[in-house]
């Protein structure tokens, strides 16, 4: 009897050991397969014979980003290292092989001529779990095309003209607050003041709300606007995972928007829409456009789905208009003042032009804004040297062989990176590229230059939809400041400029400090 019990115990034990051995073997085989596939992926460009840096095992070609290097440093260093080697270099967008464009001719094919093969940006978005990620900048395919068509009428010259007096009104308040700041100290950190100005402009034009961030630096709109740009939901490893495995990240319900930012913008949009509809208020602004799209007669797409905007979709579009509108314009204006402070002759010429334009009619109008030709050159040159979005992202929708370069194939699903900020500092495109020179944008030089050699707003069908608005508020803000104030460098001014390592957009590391005096 004891022998039978012992035999049964030994049989069951052996059976368990067999299962365990099988599971261990299966795990080892799976890990080996994943390791081989991982290794093959990280050798993709080497095996294809395309120049490429050896990638980091987790971060790909982005090793050290946000700790040792800024995104801008990575794009510029990679471009300088590989330009001239071919139409593109191999790159690793975290775990994904990507094409890093090196020639303007290829950029033109991707952005314009063969746009239908590169319509998507390929950024992670999860509209079900993270509604604010479903905005125009992130959307792909038919959803992007449909939303772009709906919103295009928002940024016509007629709409700009209507919003112009509102921007000028905020601009005068801005100049007043700027003057009050000088009473305390003539060394001014201009970056934050400019961001408060553009926050109030966007808040008024997009939401019809007096944000009051000029008067109160801690106003809720300003705080949330700053967090929407600087605060990230995930660290470097989380971002790498989301970008490397976007479909899995969606199945895991991963979000990219901070919870408090999401709640704030959803609440603001709901309250604004409710108030306007209940009180029959119209302002002919961005929010009215979104409300019209929400309330238009029920329409269907070709697939039979409703294309009327939901509150969540409205909030997403308002969110990106707010975030992109205040951050990009304020950053550009800050860098413009930074360069003008170092080039007093250029600053004096801008001031003279502003006084002449203002002096014609005694006021700043939409019509005479167009006469600020030299100021426009200054802004264009600033955007060349300090391209706020220094990389343009696209995703290849079908295998693409670069014309006349059969060896260079961009595979379906592959990310494409166009380093426009680095291209803007290429001496082959701009003589003395690191020198601030508004004459680079004399009308005759602009006509001679291919459009893809200046890409701060992108190019082609997917260029920046808010370009006109951004340029308008930057012109107004700078004109009103330069007319009344003189800017110069001081011991607190960072020369050369040091960029923040934390943000995808270009930004100064520690603010822009300038000496300011009344003219």
- Which residues line the annotated binding site? 464
Q: Could you tell me which residues are beta bridge partners of residue 99?
A: 90, 416
Name the strand (E) or helix (H) holding 516. strand 513-518
| CA distance to 345, 490, 514, per residue, from 179 (Å) | 23, 18, 14
HEC profile of 235-260: CHHHHHHHHHCHHHHHHCCCCCCCHH
Distance between CA atoms of residues 207 and 186, nearest Å: 34
Do the beta carbons of residue 232 and residue 261 sit within 8 Å? no
Measured in degrees and rounded to the nearest 5, phi and psi for residue 428 equal: -70, -25
| Maximum alpha-carbon separation in the chain | 115
Task: Outline where DSSP puts E strands in 283-324.
Answer: none
State how far the Cα of 304 lies from the Cα of 232, in Å rounded to an integer. Answer: 37
Tokens of 15: 């059976």
Helix (H) or strand (E) holding 100: strand 96-101
Give the span between the Cα atoms of 78 and 443, in whole angstroms: 32
Specify binding-site residues for heme.
464
């Amino acid at each position: 009897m004891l022998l039978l019990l012992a035999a049964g115990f030994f049989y069951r034990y052996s059976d368990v050991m067999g299962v365990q051995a099988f599971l261990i073997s299966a795990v080892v085989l799976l890990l080996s397969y994943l390791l081989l596939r991982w290794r093959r992926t990280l050798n993709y460009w080497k095996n294809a014979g395309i120049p490429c840096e050896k990638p980091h095992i987790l971060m790909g070609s982005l090793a050290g980003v946000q700790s040792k290097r800024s995104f801008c440093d990575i794009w510029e260093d990679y471009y300088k290292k590989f330009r001239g080697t071919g139409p593109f270099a191999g790159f690793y967008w975290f775990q994904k092989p990507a094409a890093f464009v090196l020639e303007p001719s290829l950029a033109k094919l991707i952005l314009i001529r063969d746009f239908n093969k590169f319509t998507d940006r390929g950024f992670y978005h999860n509209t079900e779990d993270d509604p604010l990620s479903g905005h125009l900048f992130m959307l792909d395919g038919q959803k992007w095309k449909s939303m772009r068509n709906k919103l295009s009428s928002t940024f016509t010259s007629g709409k700009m003209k209507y919003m112009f007096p509102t921007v000028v009104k905020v601009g005068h308040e801005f100049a007043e607050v700027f003057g009050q700041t000088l009473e305390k100290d003539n060394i001014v950190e201009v970056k934050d003041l400019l961001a408060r100005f553009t926050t109030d402009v966007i808040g008024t034009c997009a939401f019809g709300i007096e944000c009051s961030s000029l008067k109160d630096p801690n106003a809720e709109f300003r705080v949330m606007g700053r967090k929407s740009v600087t605060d990230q939901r995930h660290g470097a490893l989380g971002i790498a995972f989301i970008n490397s495995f976007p479909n899995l990240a969606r199945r895991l319900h991963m979000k990219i928007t901070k919870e408090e930012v999401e709640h704030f913008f959803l609440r603001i949009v709901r309250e604004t829409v409710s108030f306007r509809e209940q009180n029959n208020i119209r302002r002919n602004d961005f929010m009215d456009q979104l409300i019209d799209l929400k309330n238009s007669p029920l329409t269907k797409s070709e697939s039979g789905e409703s294309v009327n905007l939901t509150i969540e979709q409205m909030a997403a579009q308002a969110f990106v208009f707010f975030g992109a509108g205040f951050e990009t314009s304020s950053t550009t204006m800050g860098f413009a003042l930074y360069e003008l402070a170092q080039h007093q002759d250029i600053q004096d010429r801008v001031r003279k032009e502003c006084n002449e334009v203002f002096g014609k009619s005694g006021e700043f109008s939409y019509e005479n804004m167009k006469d600020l030709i030299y100021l426009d050159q200054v802004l264009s040159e600033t955007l060349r040297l300090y391209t706020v979005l220094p990389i343009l992202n696209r995703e290849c929708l079908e295998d693409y062989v670069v014309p006349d370069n059969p060896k260079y194939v961009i595979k379906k699903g592959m990310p494409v990176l166009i380093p426009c900020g680095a291209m803007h500092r290429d001496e082959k495109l701009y003589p003395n590229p690191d020198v601030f020179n508004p004459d680079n944008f004399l009308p005759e030089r602009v006509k001679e230059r291919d459009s893809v050699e200046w890409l701060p707003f992108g190019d082609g069908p997917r260029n920046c939809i808010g370009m006109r608005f951004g340029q308008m508020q930057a012109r107004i803000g700078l004109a009103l400041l330069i007319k009344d104030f003189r800017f110069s460098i001081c011991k607190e001014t960072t020369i050369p400029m040091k960029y923040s390592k934390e943000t995808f957009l270009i930004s100064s590391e520690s603010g822009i400090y300038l000496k300011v005096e009344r003219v």
